[in-house]
């Protein structure tokens, strides 16, 4: 059966060049980067070269880049680490209603530890108003954490303006850039951002590896205690093959950023146009322009997203409902709820997320399947009333 993978925001395949770069470090160059013999030194060189390359791409210095196990760990370290290091200064943290669960749950943990959390609202496109942030900043605010691009609908936040507002008050600013890394330019010499979370498996790299940028001088309490790895900010033997793979993946995607944007955006737009032409009552979520182009979030009125996913899966097509983390539950996504999408429409939300290997044939295949699937599901749906 034909297979079409349209769930690149959940994860991506490891591209061949990345696997090739990793293999020596899984085979002969298996040393522990902390060992002082030649095996260890070889691993250490790879580790530090990776750090230099990631730093160069971000406009940072190598000592500001720390490798982690991925986006979740980086979010946890940024939020809990900064909040705890500054708790004598203040106990107020600002985030948004549409963050990834790694951010929301970290903030929830802080709330139980006596911090007060403000969740900024978004408009119907999923955008935060910088004025709302300015109004929420207080003398006891120690951290603002706002994502760069949303994982469910793709909306890009005005991160320059938001981070500037925090900087003017001397407050640390963290952004979760897991979905935007390699897809949007990120230059810390131009952004007033102090911490950035990154992940390998969204950029055609391996799972279980990522990084965090921590601006020099940022006060942060480590969460993993043990050896003096990552300059004592993240204990644990470094995942050298993963780090080499993450770095290669970032280098490649960063160099192809414009092509990737054009290619995936063209596929997503073409699918959207084809579906709107053939299926009535299609609703698009997110901002029409301020979005990472590879994500297309749609609802088909009157049908549940899960039913469409299963029907498409039977035909070899992989898409997501809401985000990967919320699928499996029938709760409407917190992102769409924050965007004030009506619950019955939010239940139908599907996320098509395109990648570099997708083709126009994939789009034609999916666009050919959906009208019949939607019509069938609507014919048995008590929810669907044709307008």
For the annotated catalytic residues, the residue numbers are 325
Query: Considering only residues 71, 245, 332, 355, which one is a binding residue for ligand PLP as defined by CB under 6 A?
Result: 71
Residue 242 beta carbon to ligand PLP: minimum distance, rounded to whole angstroms: 11
Beta-carbon count within 10 A of 226 CB: 11
Comparing CA positions, the residue from 241, 243, 352, 287 lying closest to residue 123 is 287
Helices (H), strands (E): how many in the chain? 12, 13
Query: Considering only residues 7, 176, 251, 362, which one is a binding residue for ligand PLP as defined by CB under 6 A?
Result: 176
**Is residue 245 at the binding interface for ligand PLP, with CB under 6 A as the rule?**
no
**Is residue 210 at the binding interface for ligand PLP, with CB under 6 A as the rule?**
yes
**Is residue 178 at the binding interface for ligand PLP, with CB under 6 A as the rule?**
yes
Closest CB to ligand PLP among 252 and 292?
A: 292
Distance from C-alpha of 386 to C-alpha of 57, rounded to nearest angstrom: 50
Say what angle helices 240-255 and 16-26 make with each other, to 10 degrees. Answer: 160
Query: Considering only residues 31, 70, 130, 305, which one is a binding residue for ligand PLP as defined by CB under 6 A?
Result: 70
Which DSSP string corresponds to 81-108?
Answer: HHHHHTTTT--EEEEETT--HHHHHHHH
Q: Are 69 and 210 in contact (CB under 8 A)?
A: yes
Distance from C-alpha of 369 to C-alpha of 279, rounded to nearest angstrom: 11
Residue 147 beta carbon to ligand PLP: minimum distance, rounded to whole angstroms: 6
Which DSSP string corresponds to 41-63?
Answer: HHHHHHHHHHHHHHHHHHT--GG
**Is residue 102 at the binding interface for ligand PLP, with CB under 6 A as the rule?**
yes
Locate 179 and state its tokens: 């979905």
Residue 233 beta carbon to ligand PLP: minimum distance, rounded to whole angstroms: 18
Q: Give SS3 for 249.
A: helix
Residues in contact with ligand PLP, counted by CB under 6 A, come to a total of 15
Closest CB to ligand PLP among 92 and 174?
A: 174
Closest CB to ligand PLP among 201 and 378?
A: 201
Residue 202 beta carbon to ligand PLP: minimum distance, rounded to whole angstroms: 7
Given the rule CB under 6 A, which of 54-62, 67-75, 132-140, 219-227 is the region that contacts ligand PLP?
A: 67-75
**Is residue 68 at the binding interface for ligand PLP, with CB under 6 A as the rule?**
no
Closest CB to ligand PLP among 199 and 347?
A: 199
Residues within window 128-157 making contact with ligand PLP, judged by CB under 6 A: 147, 151
CA dihedral (315, 317, 318, 322) in degrees, to 10, reads -90
Q: Are 128 and 120 in contact (CB under 8 A)?
A: yes
Query: Considering only residues 256, 324, 344, 375, which one is a binding residue for ligand PLP as defined by CB under 6 A?
Result: 324
Comparing CA positions, the residue from 271, 354, 356 lying closest to residue 320 is 354
Distance from C-alpha of 145 to C-alpha of 52, rounded to nearest angstrom: 26
| In the complex, residue closest to ligand PLP by CB | 71
Residue 72 beta carbon to ligand PLP: minimum distance, rounded to whole angstroms: 3
Contact code string over 180-209 relative to ligand PLP, x by CB under 6 A: -------------------x-x--------
Q: Are 99 and 121 in contact (CB under 8 A)?
A: no
Residue 70 beta carbon to ligand PLP: minimum distance, rounded to whole angstroms: 3
List contacts with ligand PLP (CB under 6 A).
Answer: 70-72, 75, 100, 102, 147, 151, 176, 178-179, 199, 201, 210, 324
């Amino acid at each position: 059966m034909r297979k079409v993978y349209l769930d690149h925001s959940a994860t991506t395949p490891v591209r061949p060049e990345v696997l090739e770069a990793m293999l020596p470090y899984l085979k002969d160059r298996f040393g522990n980067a902390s060992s002082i013999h030649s095996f260890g030194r070889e691993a250490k060189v790879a580790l530090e070269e990776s750090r230099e390359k990631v730093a160069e791409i971000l406009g940072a210095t190598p000592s500001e880049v720390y490798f982690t196990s991925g986006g979740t760990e980086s979010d946890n370290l940024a939020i809990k680490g900064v909040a705890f290091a500054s708790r004598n200064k203040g106990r107020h943290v600002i985030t948004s209603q549409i963050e990834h669960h790694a951010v929301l749950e970290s903030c929830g943990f802080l709330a139980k530890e006596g911090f007060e959390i403000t969740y900024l609202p978004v408009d119907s496109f999923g955008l935060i108003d910088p004025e709302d942030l300015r109004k929420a900043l207080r003398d006891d605010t120690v951290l603002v954490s706002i994502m760069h691009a949303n994982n469910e609908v793709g909306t890009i936040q005005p991160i320059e303006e938001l981070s500037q507002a925090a900087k003017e008050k001397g407050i640390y600013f963290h952004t979760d850039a897991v979905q935007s890394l390699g897809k949007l330019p990120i230059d810390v010499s131009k952004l007033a951002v102090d911490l950035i979370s990154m992940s390998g498996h969204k950029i055609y790299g391996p799972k279980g590896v990522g990084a965090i940028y921590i601006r020099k001088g940022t006060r942060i309490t480590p969460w993993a205690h043990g050896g003096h790895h990552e300059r004592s900010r993240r204990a644990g033997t470094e995942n050298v093959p993963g780090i080499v793979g993450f770095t290669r993946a970032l280098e490649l995607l960063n160099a192809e950023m414009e092509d990737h944007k054009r290619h995936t955006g063209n596929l997503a737009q073409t699918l959207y146009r084809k579906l709107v032409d053939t299926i009535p009552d299609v609703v698009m979520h997110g901002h029409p322009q301020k979005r990472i182009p590879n994500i297309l979030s749609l609802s088909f009125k009157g049908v549940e997203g899960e039913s469409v996913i299963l029907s498409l899966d039977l035909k070899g097509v992989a898409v997501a409902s809401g985000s990967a983390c919320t699928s499996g539950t029938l709760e409407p996504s917190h992102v769409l709820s924050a965007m004030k999408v009506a619950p019955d429409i939010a239940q139908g939300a599907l996320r098509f997320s395109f990648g570099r290997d997708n083709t126009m044939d994939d789009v034609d295949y999916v666009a050919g399947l959906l009208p019949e699937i939607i019509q069938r599901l609507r014919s048995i749906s008590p929810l669907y009333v044709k307008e």
